Structure 1
Amino acid sequence: MKTAQCFTLVSETWSPQINGVTNTLSHLSQGLLARGHHLQIVRPAQGAEKIGLNQASARTDLRVRGMPLPGYPQLQWGLPATSALRRLWQQQLPDAVYLATEGPLGWSALRLARRMGIPVISGFHTRFDGYCNHYRLGFLQGSMASYLRWFHNHTRLTLAASHSHLRELQQLGIQPCTLLGRGVDCEQFSPAHRDPALRRSWGVAEGDLVLLHTGRLAAEKNLQLLVDAWQTLRSRQILNNISLRLVIVGDGPQRAELQRRLPGALFTGMLEGESLARAYASADIFIFPSLSETFGNVVTEAMASGLAVCAFEHAAAGQHISDRISGCLADMADEAQFIDNLTWLIADAQGRRNIRLHARHRACQLDWSQVVQRFEGYLQQAACTALPAGQLQP
């Protein structure tokens, strides 16, 4: 029988925020609790939550102060919380710490853990250095990359989301790093949730095709290609007899601009839970033009829902889709090929049907329990090796 241990998870983002990091951390934390471990969750307070400790039998939440992220007022980063963390760890010293984000809160947790000799591993969930160019901050890209390399190289191990992401970390000079991967809940996301009434509410007839995009509507998601692809589809004669409906699920700073440029599209706003599962299953083709993902949970959610995915050969799509078998993959940044693939998916009904069946089959092999088991193993390996306490210089 395994011995229960205490682990600390530190993140600048947490539920009810909706993004890939919160989705992943939710599954990892629930999995560790189910395996009998005690968790300390350190995160910024959300909404009306109070700052401070909230203790339960197997989980202790330390909520700290946060500030809105520039350009993303609906998101925030946590402020440094060295004193609160020291009090928490003096009360119960964790066996290992996992840092999910590299902001001020993560930085303060890294410094204190090193001083106290607590083993630390990290996850690289977001390529913030790559975001700089999308927000007119290209002059900061080199400095951001240097900071991320410094941060992660001061942890014992950095976990990558996908094979392509692992290669990117190695190229960035982060070591050691290894693959964690991601799972998908194939009961929550399933073709069984297809809802004819929902399709009718979208203005979709029986034989019409629904093209779906879900995710944050932001500059780093390459949504210009979504606009270009839709406009190209409308102009191609082969599609004249095929009725298409574009549905966009999500929110973000580019929503107003996209609504202006895609006047015929339906924007649902943010969806979660049953509503999100029904939206996936009630569509036919999933369009994912992003080039900035470390994984892209929405890709495997769409596959589990039985959709034919059109994406680039990158992150989750590159790892789990076989081209023209369980989806369509374009070479990185080859936008013409991406649009041609989308055209083929629309025009070839039999090919699309086969892809949807294979996509569901492949997704059902991606079990979160296996990911949690690997995550637990990495934490336990770190905990087994004592560290000398010492100062960590900025």
Structure 2
Amino acid sequence: MNKTYVDRLQYRQQDIPEYFRFYFKHNKKKAIAFDIDLFRDLKEPRLRIAIVTETWAPEINGVALSLLQLCKGLQSQGHKILLIRPKQKKSCLEFQPNKECLVNGQSIPKYPEMKFGWPQYLKVSQAIEAFSPDVVHIVTEGPLGFTALHAAKSRCIPVSSGFHSQFQEFSRFFDLAFLVKPIQKYLKWFHNATQLTCVPSRDTELALREFGVTCPLTIVGRGIDTQRFSSQRYSAKLRQQWGADEDTTVLLYVGRLSSEKEINVLIDAFSELRNSTQRKVKLVLVGDGPDRARLEKMQGADHIIFMGSLSGIQLAEAYASANVFVFASQVETFGNVVLEAMASGLAIIAYDYACAQLHVKHQQTGWLCPIGNIKQLTLHILEIPDNATLRSMGQQAMHDVQTIGWQQPVQQFEQALYRVKQDSKLLT
């Protein structure tokens, strides 16, 4: 029997209910199969959590889809969830909150498919009061998040927040550079007004510290559904639709078609690749957004396939049917699409930060370059190896992410919420 485990068992006996102590005393071999933390959890009261978000599935973006997985995980652990969000035309069929508060929504400029919630203070305040949450977690810092922050504070309910989108950086790409400092100032104030902020990566943690966020920060990572995203989703029919045979190298991008994603860098590099090689190549862009019309008019765009927004099996098939994933964005807090591509058996070309930095092995499962080095990123695209090499690297990438599920991020989020509740008790 593992001595370290026995010592831990003996050291933490006081955490185990009496009947489990008796069981372990007479069945010590059985004890190896259990994690004592599970028994401590039996004594932890389940939380009542108000989740406030201005984006929610079935909207297609990393924040909405990640939040859906976290909420599903929390609810499966017995926690109760009040979901406060804007009304949507379509409903999410994968999750049913214990309670829900829907406010009016307003389309976000340049993103008509996404909305921000109206600051309906009375409605939000009454919903929070009726639910009586242990903690209010605010996912987005817009008008609805601002309203929920004040509603929770007025009732002395502990508040945590999440930082998922670098809005202050987006403004640079919309000729709104003059807003960078004011937005940073607001975000600094907002997160410092909460007791803890959850971030998806170390890079995001450092970025928040740089512009003055001083509240406690904790990393809540991201997972991947390897049943949904897999090389087994390969579709010969889809490749035929793309005009790609077995010898064609298909470069794939998935995400918003928006200027901050710098898709023009990918199109320029692809055009240069087409002009410098005899091999057959295709560039497939999956997603939609305000930059689509401009991108479709770029030189060489007539050789690019615009698929529009995809989800579910169609999205999984698009990943698995390509050969390499290319990603030029420099404003990601994480970059879920990189994990989805790796799980689908694709090698990655991206900047060395956020998700790619965490999971891509340079020259083994893809190619990384210093953030902002467009010349180096373009060079990696121009030097893409043959399909057999890409397939081998993609299989290694898929193998590397097989154990990256959602269980650990859910546990990280759960412990962050327990911490907020506990710290609040210590302050009272």
Query: Is 1:221 paired with 2:261?
Result: yes
Q: Of 281, 301, 309, which aligns to 1:244?
A: 281
Return closer, same or farther for 1:68/1:207 CA change in 2, 3 Å cut-off.
same
Q: 362-371 vs 277-286, which deviates more?
A: 362-371
Q: Of 290, 315, 321, which aligns to 1:253?
A: 290
Q: Of 192, 203, 212, which aligns to 2:252?
A: 212
Deviations 1:317-347 (A, max 9, x none): 11111111121101111111111112232x3
User: Are the aligned partners of 2:283 and 2:304 in contact in 1 as well (CA < 8 Å)?
Assistant: yes
Q: Of 103, 107, 113, which aligns to 1:64?
A: 103
TM-score (norm 1): 0.93
User: Are the aligned partners of 1:161 and 1:295 in contact in 2 as well (CA < 8 Å)?
Assistant: yes
1:300 aligns with 339
Aligned-residue offset at 1:235:
2.0
Query: Is 1:16 paired with 2:54?
Result: no
Q: Of 351, 356, 359, which aligns to 1:312?
A: 351
Query: Quick one: distance in 1 between partners of 2:322 and 2:386?
Result: 16
Query: Quick one: distance in 1 between partners of 2:206 and 2:152?
Result: 28
1:138 aligns with 177
Task: Name the amino acid aligned to 1:16.
Answer: P
1:52 aligns with none
Query: Quick one: distance in 2 between partners of 1:57 and 1:174?
Result: 33
Query: Quick one: distance in 2 between partners of 1:73 and 1:340?
Result: 35
Task: Name the amino acid aligned to 1:367.
Answer: G
2:394 aligns with 356
Aligned-residue offset at 1:351:
3.9
2:139 aligns with 100
User: Are the aligned partners of 1:152 and 1:174 in contact in 2 as well (CA < 8 Å)?
Assistant: yes
2:417 aligns with 379
Task: Name the amino acid aligned to 1:31.
Answer: G
User: Are the aligned partners of 2:160 and 2:195 in contact in 1 as well (CA < 8 Å)?
Assistant: yes
User: Are the aligned partners of 1:212 and 1:287 in contact in 2 as well (CA < 8 Å)?
Assistant: yes
User: Are the aligned partners of 2:87 and 2:103 in contact in 1 as well (CA < 8 Å)?
Assistant: yes
2:305 aligns with 266
What is the aligned-residue identity percentage? 38
Query: Is 1:173 paired with 2:215?
Result: no
Query: Quick one: distance in 2 between partners of 1:386 and 1:202?
Result: 56
Task: Name the amino acid aligned to 2:71.
Answer: S
Name the SS of the counterpart of 1:384 in structure 2.
helix
Runs of 5+ unmatched residues, structure 1: 50-55
Query: Is 1:30 paired with 2:69?
Result: no
Query: Is 1:289 paired with 2:328?
Result: yes
Aligned-residue offset at 1:387:
6.1
Query: Quick one: distance in 2 between partners of 1:76 and 1:183?
Result: 25
1:46 aligns with 88
Query: Quick one: distance in 2 between partners of 1:113 and 1:337?
Result: 48
Return closer, same or farther for 1:58/1:330 CA change in 2, 3 Å cut-off.
closer
2:28 aligns with none
TM-score (norm 2): 0.85
Q: Aligned residue pairs: how many?
A: 380
Return closer, same or farther for 1:88/1:387 CA change in 2, 3 Å cut-off.
farther
Query: Quick one: distance in 1 between partners of 2:228 and 2:396?
Result: 18
1:275 aligns with 314
User: Are the aligned partners of 2:255 and 2:287 in contact in 1 as well (CA < 8 Å)?
Assistant: yes
Aligned-residue offset at 1:11:
0.4
Query: Quick one: distance in 2 between partners of 1:374 and 1:195?
Result: 36
Query: Quick one: distance in 2 between partners of 1:163 and 1:16?
Result: 28
Q: How does 1:116-135 map to 2 (within 5 A)?
A: 116-135=155-174
1:53 aligns with none
Query: Is 1:230 paired with 2:267?
Result: no
Aligned-residue offset at 1:3:
2.6
Deviations 1:150-205 (A, max 9, x none): 00011111111112112111112212212111111111000011011111121111
Runs of 5+ unmatched residues, structure 2: 1-41
User: Are the aligned partners of 1:115 and 1:389 in contact in 2 as well (CA < 8 Å)?
Assistant: no
2:237 aligns with 197
Deviations 1:35-54 (A, max 9, x none): 111100000001278xxxxx
Query: Is 1:83 paired with 2:122?
Result: yes
Q: 269-278 vs 204-213, which deviates more?
A: 204-213
User: Are the aligned partners of 1:7 and 1:38 in contact in 2 as well (CA < 8 Å)?
Assistant: yes
Name the SS of the counterpart of 1:386 in structure 2.
helix
What RMSD over aligned residues (CA atoms) do the two structures have, in Å?
1.8
Query: Is 1:114 paired with 2:153?
Result: yes
Return closer, same or farther for 1:48/1:291 CA change in 2, 3 Å cut-off.
closer
Aligned-residue offset at 1:111:
1.1
User: Are the aligned partners of 1:117 and 1:387 in contact in 2 as well (CA < 8 Å)?
Assistant: no
Query: Quick one: distance in 2 between partners of 1:31 and 1:339?
Result: 39
Deviations 1:285-329 (A, max 9, x none): 111110011011111000000001110111111111111112110
Query: Quick one: distance in 2 between partners of 1:92 and 1:102?
Result: 22
Deviations 1:246-292 (A, max 9, x none): 11110001112212221111111110000000110010111111001
Return closer, same or farther for 1:330/1:362 CA change in 2, 3 Å cut-off.
same
